[in-house]
Amino acid sequence: MAFGYHGCYLRIDASNGSAKRVPLSEDVLRQYVGGSGLGVHLLLEEGAAAVDALAPEAPLIFAFSPLVGSPLTTSAKFAVVSKSPLTERVNDSLASSGFAIAGKGCGCDAVVIVGKAPQLSVIVIEDGEVHLESAEEYRGLSCRETEAALRARLGNYRVASIGPAGEKLVRYATISHDGRHAGRGGSGAVLGAKNIKAIAVRGSRRTEWAHPRELTALSRSLSQRSFGPATAKYRELGTAANLLVFNRFGALPTRNFQSGTFEQAIDISPEQLAVTREKTRKSCMACTIGCEHIYSNGKSGVRMEYESLFALGSLCGVGDSDAVLRAAQRCDELGLDTISAGGTIAFAMECVERRWLENANWLKFGDGNALLRAIEMIGARQGLGDLLAEGSRRAAQAIGHNSIAIAPQVKGLEIPGYEPRALQTMALGFAVGARGADHNRSGAYEVDFSEKVDRRNVTLDAVEHAIATEDRAALMDSMILCKFLRGVFEDFFGEAAQMLHHVTGWDATAEELRETARRIVRAKREFNLLAGWTPSEDALPERFLNTPLPNDPEAALSRERLDALVAEYHRQRGW
């Protein structure tokens, strides 16, 4: 077996707590590396595409990577992979920190969970030994409370858990560890459907590195570069720095994508928050960047990312920073994906405005209290919250009035904070994304913020650039490295080959890894095809097509242009 791997995964049946080790061949590991790639491969092996995402037999996979435990900066990460209950398509979300190291320390490269526990339970894994314990006493607890309670009970374990939203099967519930979330696509609901509140891991099995000295030298160089200008934005302001930039470019989604600028953007910007509040910084384990910026809000601190800021701020028209911070905090506690929560609530706010949604007149754009009330109702699936817990696509189907035209989603996944008409390469990235509208699996926005294209009038030339960002993301998510490192590489695939060589001993080349990335993208597509994908899914909601942004008439995306971009994307992919 190659260095850096254990050469097996742990398959756990949650219905009785039994577990077995299943060997993984070196050939499979070299083809899919780890993380998202390995997770999708295992998902296909398990036949998950044909199974309902919330059925007991649906597998949920935690996949580690050969780099986990190495001195390479930002490598303490794991992928959570399953069929999404929100999109019914493939879903892979990533999270960081000690869970990855302790999980891999259990002597496996992945953990596959199937079945449904008879009562709310915690799966305890120590050095590969597995048992179930009751978690009934933690019902209704937040992720952080659950983590703390389990550590108090079990000792020095690393815990990934769901909040109340996961227990209630909210279709965009998260799995959380150490304050960070495997956020998108509803993996928390998949775990909730298995009656699993948490997974606690502890392990001491280390893997060896093929070339430890060279690995240490490369790690040092990478860490050094991670202190440089390419990551300054993340260190100094965090992703929230995007807010004023996007507002200036008319690309800040506002009031359910009715506008690309928000008149109160400055009030919720990190520049303003840093002046009026205490701020601290944190980082994931084994990270030299430290992008987490935590702002005080009353007695507590709230980690604030651009995506939460836009989704719970401008998208809902809320410019009261107290309300936005509180909303982000409640989403964290309940275990809700902030993008989908904000997107679904903003959609409902517009439906109320259009009088398509009755008995909800309290739900108005700009009303921070209404936002908070809606979040609580979603977390508890109470009243209107029961509908909104289904996500904007299903809610639109229930509401009617052709409201699907304004539901801010692709394949059912709510659109992140990039106005597609103002950033049209990103529009393509959203349309073709395997897990739906997504800025982490396609970095096409980088192309829009470059000289390569005219962002409001992109041509077919944009497609190869969009594909390149998707391929890079597929490899980064499988190795797994934080994408905030991407700016430090001059030749990512070349350096990735070196890293893998030093860790595993493989004579990997940049070209081999480019093919690996394409293979992983193809595997996701294969899953989607098996799950029933049709070409009409690679599209954007009607709202974005043919109607320019009101504040920027040049930001218009015709249906013909998007169709041509998508067709060219499929052609270049060979699909």
Partner 1 sequence: MGIFMAFQHFRAGNRLGWSNCHAIICSRLPAPMHVEFYGVPRQRAGIAELDVNAETLGQLLGTLAERIPTLRELIEGEGLNSAFVANLNGDRFLSDPETALAQDDCVLILSADAGG
Binding positions for partner 1, rule: CB under 8 A: 228-230, 232-234, 236-237, 239, 241-242, 244-246, 248-250, 266, 271-272, 275, 306, 418, 439, 443, 445-446, 449-451, 454, 456, 483-484, 486-487
Residue carrying structure tokens 């649906």: 58
Q: CB neighbours of 298 closer than 8 A, spacing ≥ 6?
A: none
Binding segment (CB under 6 A) for ligand SF4, from list 27-35, 280-288, 333-341, 440-448: 280-288
Give the Cα separation of 288 and 282 in Å (integer): 10
User: Quick one: 218 or 389, whose CB is closer to ligand SF4?
Assistant: 218
Residue 74, contacted partner among ligand SF4, partner 1, none, CB below 5-8 A by kind: ligand SF4
Residue 290, contacted partner among partner 1, ligand SF4, none, CB below 5-8 A by kind: ligand SF4
Beta carbon of residue 455, minimum distance to partner 1 (angstroms, whole number): 8
Residue 449, contacted partner among partner 1, ligand SF4, none, CB below 5-8 A by kind: partner 1
16-26 burial code (b ≥16 CB/10 A, e <16): ebebeeeebee
Report helix, strand or coil for 182: strand
| Closest CA relative to residue 179, chosen from 71, 52, 294 | 294
Residues that contact ligand SF4, how many (by CB under 6 A):
12
CA terminus-to-terminus distance, the chain: 34
SS (H, E, C) 254-288: ECCCCECCCCCHHHHCHHHHHHHCCEEEECCCCCC
Residue 283 has a CB neighbour count (10 Å cut-off) of: 18
Residue 283, contacted partner among partner 1, ligand SF4, none, CB below 5-8 A by kind: ligand SF4
Q: What's the angle, vertex CA 393, arms to CA 388 and CA 399, rounded to 5?
A: 70
Beta carbon of residue 486, minimum distance to partner 1 (angstroms, whole number): 7
User: Quick one: 14 or 556, whose CB is closer to partner 1?
Assistant: 556
Residue 96, contacted partner among ligand SF4, partner 1, none, CB below 5-8 A by kind: ligand SF4
DSSP-derived letter for residue 208 is P
Taking CB under 6 A as the rule, does residue 96 contact ligand SF4?
A: yes
User: Quick one: 25 or 450, whose CB is closer to partner 1?
Assistant: 450
Taking CB under 6 A as the rule, does residue 287 contact ligand SF4?
A: yes
Binding segment (CB under 6 A) for ligand SF4, from list 31-39, 285-293, 345-353, 376-384: 285-293
User: Quick one: 445 or 544, whose CB is closer to partner 1?
Assistant: 445
User: Quick one: 204 or 457, whose CB is closer to partner 1?
Assistant: 457
Q: CB neighbours of 364 closer than 8 A, spacing ≥ 6?
A: 349, 352, 353, 370
Q: Which amino acid would we find at residue 468?
A: A
Beta carbon of residue 225, minimum distance to partner 1 (angstroms, whole number): 11
Which of 91, 283, 442, 504 binds ligand SF4 (CB under 6 A)? It is 283
Give the Cα separation of 483 and 53 in Å (integer): 28
Taking CB under 6 A as the rule, does residue 74 contact ligand SF4?
A: yes
Pairing of strands 129-134, 8-13: unpaired
Q: CB neighbours of 315 closer than 8 A, spacing ≥ 6?
A: 253, 254, 255, 256, 257, 342, 343, 346, 408, 417
User: Quick one: 241 or 372, whose CB is closer to partner 1?
Assistant: 241
Q: Which amino acid would we find at residue 2?
A: A
Chain residues in the site for ligand SF4 (CB under 6 A): 74, 96, 234, 283-284, 287, 289-292, 482, 484
